[in-house]
Structure 1
Amino acid sequence: MQLIDQLNDSIRSLSGFWPELALVFAIVLVVIADLVFTPRSPIQLAGFATTPDATLSASKNRSILYALSLTAVVVAGALTFGQVGREKGFLFSSVLLLDNQAVFYKLIVTLAAFFAILHGWAVARPRNELPLDWLPILLGMLLGLYLMTMSVNLLTIYLSIELVSISSYLLTALSTDRKASEGGLKYLLFGAISSAIMLYGMSLLYGLTGTLALSESGNQLAQNDAFVVYVAGFLTLSGLFFKLSLVPFHVWTPDAYEAAPTPVVAFFSVAPKAAALLVLMRILTAFPASFQTPVAVIALASITLGNFSALWQTDAKRLLAYSSIAHAGFLLVGVVAFSETGFEAATFYIATYVFINMAAFLLVDLLAKPQNGNLTIQNFSGLGSSQPLLSAALTVVMIALTGLPPTVGFTAKLLAFSALLEAYQTDTNPWLLALFVVGLLNAIVSLFYYLRIPFLLYFRPVSNTYLSDTKLNLPQLFLAAVVTAPVLILFFKPDWILRWIGSL
């Protein structure tokens, strides 16, 4: 009888699992389409040159696979959007929870995947920079992120994080060059260590509570020694700190960002952080012990280390990698408030950060095109006159990353630090004040490296006159405009997102 009940529960759960099932079907379809449309002939495998007709056919086949992958993301996003307002409910024997928060965060990661595939199609596809294998792997990673947003059981949290991590390792080392192999190996080693630590922490939590469900573990943990709960809790949170690129689990970030293709890095920089942020808030809410002070210290360390390390970078992707470490710390500013206002501020921050960071990587990649794909910052010198639209857009994005008006980056930081100040006035925890003061000072420090790129674009001579005259096509310029526009629009209309967040 129990097996029949479980089977009926699984069948009922499928009604809330359509986006994930659509992604599973899409992964299989894209893999089959890759085998059908891009056969590897013996001549190609041997490395001999192909004919112009074969090259044209391969280009069309690549476009078909990009179209299939993009359609899959759109369908999954539409099915997810159809779940807005759905009654909150558990799926598959309460290991997953489908609520408005999960739906909102699934839409965030779907948007990131949509822009990443468009980035790959508009920039990387014409250069043949990315093997087509990256598309089904990206869809697999998106599936893992969907599961992360709904996970309320320690086992499903671990399995979904591992699905995301394994996909990330593959995407980082997908290229054949040595740098990609080194970056992927470092990513794998640090990921394996953090995964082992997290799994050990989860085993301790299970030993203390006798349950894997977050909703049931809180009351059980309250009966245990606070120090033991702290130890088990932080060991468990290490996996999430790794996905968020927080200190001390940040070491992999610059090497992996530099090694991976730019569209992949753009997706790395926002999507896993969004899913990990929701899981982090759910775990911290379930824990009875206050983790406010330790999380504030981690946020403070991440902001400071990320900003000061970025000051010395000469490669654009490494600069943005350290920038993402700092922004992960800023994400925690709202979480540290440990209030509904703070959690809403953190949600708004990650929702707007998708547009800001995806735009940053896209614009940097497009501006690197006239320089033969070279992402050294000095090579952007003088491109303000030859690429006025892209340069203006990148300037707006750099201002947004700094957190200055009139960009939504200012609004996001204002809400996060306002929630933190409100929490300090209630709790008077000195670490909250330290995070508030040092965090704002770090925003000033970030001016020196964010605005260095606009300075080079407009106030330095062209580094290569011939290459600076290279023109970009209309789809690339249109995509740049679509990604950049929300950075300005949401500054004037933040209520478009805030109302939605307030209803979660």
Structure 2
Amino acid sequence: MQLKEHLLHIIESLPRVVPETWLAFAFLLLVTAELVLKLTRWSQQTSTVLWFSAFGLSLAGLLLVILQWNAPEGYLFHHLLYLDTKAVFFKGLVLITTLFVLLHIRVTHAQLPPEFYAILLAIVLGLCFMTMAVNGLSLYLSIELVSIGSYLLASLGKGKLAAEGGIKYLLFGALSSGIMLYGLSFLYGMTGSLDLTSEVFANHLAQNHLVIILIVGFLTLGGVLFKLSLVPFHVWAPDVYEGAPTPIVAFLSTAPKAAALLLLMRLLSALPADFQQLMALLALSSILLGNLSALWQNDLKRLLAYSGIAQAGFALVGVVAFSQAGFESATFYIVIYVLTNLAAFLLVDLVSSGRPTLLSLSGKGAQLPVLAVCFVIVMVALVGLPPTAGFTSKLLVFSALWEANTTAPSSLLTTLLVIGLLNAVISLVYYFKIPFYLFFKEAREANHETPKPAGTALVVALTVLIVTLFLKTDWLMLWIKQL
């Protein structure tokens, strides 16, 4: 292909990445605004101005993504990226999550340094590229953009816990990144291409032994599994969740997982080998380790960290089905998980006083009845019980797994089905500790500062949405079935 044709294709691709271009501009604008504001008489209001700027820019980015919904599908920049409705849906989910996190910061008056907002939008930019990545180069660069920003965010808290969590996140992130890059180098050596969608890539890779493909594929998936906090790439999660500010944890536990799930499904569909058994083993390990470890936790954020590991395993159950129903169920699951986790971390900030432990919730059910009831509903959703969308999400992923196991019976899939359902029961023990402390433990404090009405309204809105999507599942599934 001549240089003129290359340039022509790049120019034709540019209008298809308007949201990403906008986010890159927004990042540069926030960095410049921070530097300028600190030199003016508005220096004391820098964080407030940047919050409004970040919210407005993110909202504009969401509108630009929505406009892409009916855009024609196709490759961009010579098969580096692929724009389709799946990418648009997940980009929209990432930006909606970002807006909720910014609202979380506003209603809880979280004290975050001004540079947080620029870093946040840089991560969102990387996540948007992750949803479209179909080439080894774009895959690696987008994950690294997200990872570097995430390391910085995890270290923004105060004290030793934040520093320790940030260092562990960096070390384990660098390790998983190196593993992924090692796998990609093998793929390139075996195929001569990094285009995961090309026939040359698939044909050359299929000529290798199945065991080799599985090993190299697992290495390549390392960076994605790290973002999902799946076993054995989960070690960073509890320390980062405990040490980082709660709004940052709310973001890191939701948006990257959503983008990573789509990227995982794209990778698995591109690799010629059958990864069903390996994914089933990872899902089973994550569900067991996450639930059993959460049983012993007293810190709310560590409890939700281990819960997140288990929830990622449950989302992977839908992927294990390797079917259209499995994709739809996994997508539905991650959307409900994002909504539920956002509500859970906001409630941790609003209800707990001081360090967020189970004891800090004692007696808050009587002091803050509306928030306490919302907390109970959110925990019911994480367990997977009606009348919440958490029940529907677990029903869908296990139904897809049952269908896959009926079509091609496997002892490992049967084990995953049985132990997965049993673990949903085990999770009752630690999730329902929260209602127990809220309503059946005596209050440790005579008074508690009443949260602002805006915070309560945001929690109630998320809780109502979680219940509504149980009653009206089709509202969300109609969008997912179009992907």
TM-score band by shorter chain is: over 0.9
- Distance, in Å, in 1 between the alignment partners of 2:269 and 2:171 is 30
Counterpart code for 1:74: L
Paired residue for 2:445, among 436, 459, 464? 464
- Distance, in Å, in 2 between the alignment partners of 1:152 and 1:176 is 38
Partner of 1:169: 151
Paired residue for 2:87, among 99, 102, 108? 102
- Distance, in Å, in 2 between the alignment partners of 1:82 and 1:433 is 43
Matched, 1:145 2:127: yes
Partner of 2:58: 73
Q: Matched residue of 1:214: which SS?
A: coil
Matched, 1:498 2:481: no
Partner of 1:43: none
- Distance, in Å, in 1 between the alignment partners of 2:214 and 2:88 is 30
Partner of 1:485: 464
Partner of 1:15: 15
Q: Which runs of 5+ in 2 are unaligned?
A: none
Paired residue for 2:246, among 262, 283, 290? 262
Q: Matched residue of 2:212: which SS?
A: helix
Cα pair 2:47 2:113 within 8 Å, conserved: no
Counterpart code for 1:180: A
- Distance, in Å, in 1 between the alignment partners of 2:324 and 2:450 is 48
Partner of 1:218: 202
Bigger shift: 457-466 or 136-145?
A: 457-466
- Sequence identity, in percent? 52
- Distance, in Å, in 2 between the alignment partners of 1:277 and 1:318 is 22
Cα pair 1:124 1:130 within 8 Å, conserved: no
Q: Matched residue of 2:69: which SS?
A: coil
Cα pair 2:362 2:443 within 8 Å, conserved: yes
Counterpart code for 2:475: W
- 1:395–1:58 CA distance, 2 compared to 1 (3 A): farther
- Distance, in Å, in 2 between the alignment partners of 1:97 and 1:418 is 30
Matched, 1:288 2:272: yes
Cα pair 2:87 2:131 within 8 Å, conserved: yes
- Distance, in Å, in 2 between the alignment partners of 1:269 and 1:256 is 10
- Distance, in Å, in 2 between the alignment partners of 1:97 and 1:392 is 43
- Write the deviation string for residues 91-133 of structure 1: whole angstroms up to 9, x where unpaired: 11110000000001101111111111111122144xxx21121
Paired residue for 2:435, among 444, 454, 457? 454
Matched, 1:89 2:74: yes
Per-residue deviation, 1:483: 2.2
Report how many residues are paired: 481
Counterpart code for 1:283: L
Per-residue deviation, 1:37: 2.4
- Write the deviation string for residues 9-56 of structure 1: whole angstroms up to 9, x where unpaired: 11111111110011111111111222222349xxxxxxxxxxxxx9xx
Cα pair 1:63 1:121 within 8 Å, conserved: no
TM-score, reference length from structure 1: 0.94
Matched, 1:207 2:154: no
- Write the deviation string for residues 474-499 of structure 1: whole angstroms up to 9, x where unpaired: 22122222222211110011111111
- Write the deviation string for residues 54-109 of structure 1: whole angstroms up to 9, x where unpaired: 9xx66644222101000111111100000002110111111000000000110111
Bigger shift: 21-30 or 321-330?
A: 21-30
- Write the deviation string for residues 246-275 of structure 1: whole angstroms up to 9, x where unpaired: 011100100011111101100111111111
- Distance, in Å, in 1 between the alignment partners of 2:162 and 2:55 is 25
Cα pair 2:46 2:114 within 8 Å, conserved: no
- Distance, in Å, in 1 between the alignment partners of 2:478 and 2:308 is 27
4+ runs deviating over 3 angstroms: 57-61
Counterpart code for 2:403: E
Paired residue for 1:196, among 164, 175, 178? 178
Partner of 1:50: none
- Write the deviation string for residues 225-265 of structure 1: whole angstroms up to 9, x where unpaired: 11111111011011111111001110010001111110110
